[in-house]
Amino acid sequence: MDSQSAPFSPLPVAPASVAKGFWKSQRILGKVRVNHLLRSLVFLSVFLLTATDVQVRQKTYRFGYILSTQSQLGAGAKAFADEVARRTGGEIKIEQQPNAALGGEVEMLNGLELGTVDFAFITGAALPNIIPEMGVFDIPFLFRDVNQARDVLDSPLGLYYLEKFKAKNMIALAWGENGLRHLTNSIRPIRTPEDVKGLKLRLPQSDCMLIGFKTLGAQTVSLPFPQVFGALQSGQIDGQENPLSTIISSGFAKVQKYLSLTGHVYDPAVILVSKDTRDEFSPAEQAILYEAARMGAKASREFNEKMEKTGVDILRRQGVEVVDKIDRAKFRAAVLPAFSEYQKMYGANVIKQIQDMK
């Protein structure tokens, strides 16, 4: 060994008390790290849950109907969407899908049943396609006037019919209004039942209305509403029937010469939500949907009231010849032979109950 080399010296050994303190500090440090990790995980979980909740609430729910926004259905849909937004502070958003953007009414009803359509405002003429008993409201000259029709729908009988939608995986929120249906055509003025004979008229997909107009002698054609304007324009059909607000908002004055204020059918409308969509909301939010639907129903009725007062003048200015007085007694008598068929379809007692309601 070199004489200048330092002798070998082992590493010093720490006293037992020092070693014990060291390992204790490591355990404490480990606990701190674990606690910090747990807090981080909890924070992350809360953040993700909150983000998911916000994402769900910010989802847009689509509300479909066949008419334009400037219609009785558009007025009702807007009132519904505005009220939902107001009551939820904008957390629940309803997007209007007018002009059959989600399909015709039968298509939307199927979508509601399957859960692919969130909300829809469906007119009464389409409802028998999924609930045949609803056809009773399509009987021509069933109601004396609009007030009686509204009273029936707002009665326990009307609620009874709303409950039937539950069996079809959809929830009826409120009865709204499409309105009194009137006849238009491009061939001749209609004043009496005889004037209807031979006319090729488009009717909604309603067996009840088809029976009634065939009894009057019309050639009936059943077309989805989005196809009606084109069929009138091409001459495929001579005429159609709808509420004044629909006739105006759809621009039928461009393709029709005559309007007769027949008021032959009062057509309700119903605000519907898919059961799958409804179940996404809390009980409190579901209550808001019902309240908003009542506001939407009221708005659709108010729109029609205004249009019944001003619509005739609007159409006259657009060049339509208007027959504002018809012989309702003759029309009612002319469709009377169809009532035996209606009684088989809907029950004589139900029809009488509706007719007798004050």
* CATH number, residue 224: 3.40.190.170
Identify whether 195 is part of a domain. Answer: yes
Which residues are CB-contacts of 185 (< 8 A; sequence separation ≥ 6)?
Answer: 199, 201, 238, 239, 240, 256, 257, 258
Instruction: Quote the CA–CA distance of 272 and 289 in Å, as a whole number.
Output: 10
| Model pLDDT, residue 238 | 98
| Model pLDDT, residue 59 | 83
Residues 175 and 182 sit within 8 Å (Cβ to Cβ): no
Identify whether 192 is part of a domain. Answer: yes
Q: The whole model's pTM is what?
A: 0.81
| Model pLDDT, residue 205 | 81
Q: What are the start-end ranges of the H helices in the chain? A: 16-57, 72-87, 105-114, 146-153, 156-163, 207-215, 228-234, 244-249, 275-278, 283-317, 328-335, 339-346, 348-356
Identify whether 154 is part of a domain. Answer: yes
| Model pLDDT, residue 14 | 45
Identify whether 191 is part of a domain. Answer: yes
| Model pLDDT, residue 224 | 87
| Model pLDDT, residue 27 | 55
Identify whether 173 is part of a domain. Answer: yes
Identify whether 109 is part of a domain. Answer: yes
| Model pLDDT, residue 273 | 98
| Model pLDDT, residue 33 | 54
Q: Domain range spanning residue 207?
A: 58-356
Low-confidence residues of the chain: pLDDT under 50: 1-14, 16, 18-19, 22-23, 29, 32, 34, 37-38, 40-56
Question: Helix or strand or coil: residue 243?
Answer: coil
Identify whether 279 is part of a domain. Answer: yes
Identify whether 18 is part of a domain. Answer: no
How many structural domains comprise the chain? Answer: 1
